[in-house]
Structure 1
Amino acid sequence: MTTSPNRPAVLVVDDLKDTADSLATVLDMMGYDTRVAYSPRQVGELVRSGFRPDAAVLDIDLGEQSGFDVARDLCAALGRRPMLVALTGYSSMEPRARREGFDHYFLKPAEPRDVAGVLPAAS
């Protein structure tokens, strides 16, 4: 699986499937090359299969591993840092998200167009 050269690649990671799927569907319709992972393990599988996201929208509370850990692992696996966007239900986590290198922070439920507004421009 390779990313499309004309569409910014976005990885959406959330253990709540409806949340992840609905955001990914809207981003796809807006012109993004979007993939979804419901667990940290699936993030690794996507990267190993060749998906190279330009941006990652990560839930902070993923159960088995935090979104902070996933962000660190993703950056290490890619050998670079994609844009990192937190999408979470925890308002108290914004200071930590900023310290951990997240570029943007949204509270659930966030409007998909607001999330798309901070992502690399889709053609």
Structure 2
Amino acid sequence: MTGEMMKLTRVLVVDDNEDAATSFGELLNMAGYQVKTAFNGREALLVAESFRPEACVLDINMPEMDGYQLARQLRDQNPDHPPVFATVTAKGDYGHLGQAVEAGFDLHFTKPADPQEVMEQLEWCMGKQVG
């Protein structure tokens, strides 16, 4: 790795709001990332098996499987090299932050999140893992 931050290549975006997931995924794609989107936890787990994301941007409030449960299961899929986890959610309270840390999230953003900030923080976190 040179003086530049390592560029993430594979990012999984999961949100039950399809417009939010798709638009955020498109922004990441335009910035040079390989992006897959999923609209629920079950779909995200299937996508992650073959896509092997380096980072996951997850909503928390989703039906059937919330973002906390999803993060734990995604981490279990690849325990030796887990992805960087970011939550982008409407929740901003301290109770949520504690649950996010417990579930293994590296980053927290409150909606509406600045896509540029999310990308910069994901790259910074990935650089820490590699370095």
Question: Considering only aligned residues, what root-mean-square deviation do their CA atoms show, in Å?
Answer: 1.5
Determine which of 95, 110, 113 is the counterpart of 1:110.
113
- How far 1:7 sits from its partner (Å)? 5.5
Calculate the TM-score normalised by the size of structure 2: 0.81
Match of 1:100 in 2: 103
Per-residue CA shift, 1:72-101, capped at 9, x if unaligned?
111112333110001000112122212322
The worse-fitting range, judged by mean Cα deviation, of 22-31 and 90-99 is 90-99
Contact 1:9 1:32 in 2 (8 A): yes
- Counting aligned pairs with the same residue, the percent is 36
- How far 1:120 sits from its partner (Å)? 2.6
CA distance in 2, matches of 1:83, 1:44: 15
Contact 1:47 1:78 in 2 (8 A): no
Contact 1:21 1:36 in 2 (8 A): yes
Q: Which runs of 4+ in 1 moved over 3 A?
A: none
What is the letter of the counterpart of residue 74 of structure 1?
Answer: L
Matched, 1:12 2:26: no
Calculate the TM-score normalised by the size of structure 1: 0.86
The size of the alignment, in residue pairs, is: 115
Contact 2:8 2:54 in 1 (8 A): no
| 1:1-123 correspondence to structure 2 within 5 Å | 8-48=9-49, 50-79=50-79, 80-92=81-93, 93-120=96-123
Contact 1:54 1:120 in 2 (8 A): no
SS of alignment partner, residue 119 of structure 1: helix
CA distance in 2, matches of 1:13, 1:62: 9
Structure 1: where are the runs of 5+ without partners? 1-5
Structure 2: where are the runs of 5+ without partners? 1-6, 125-131
SS of alignment partner, residue 120 of structure 1: helix
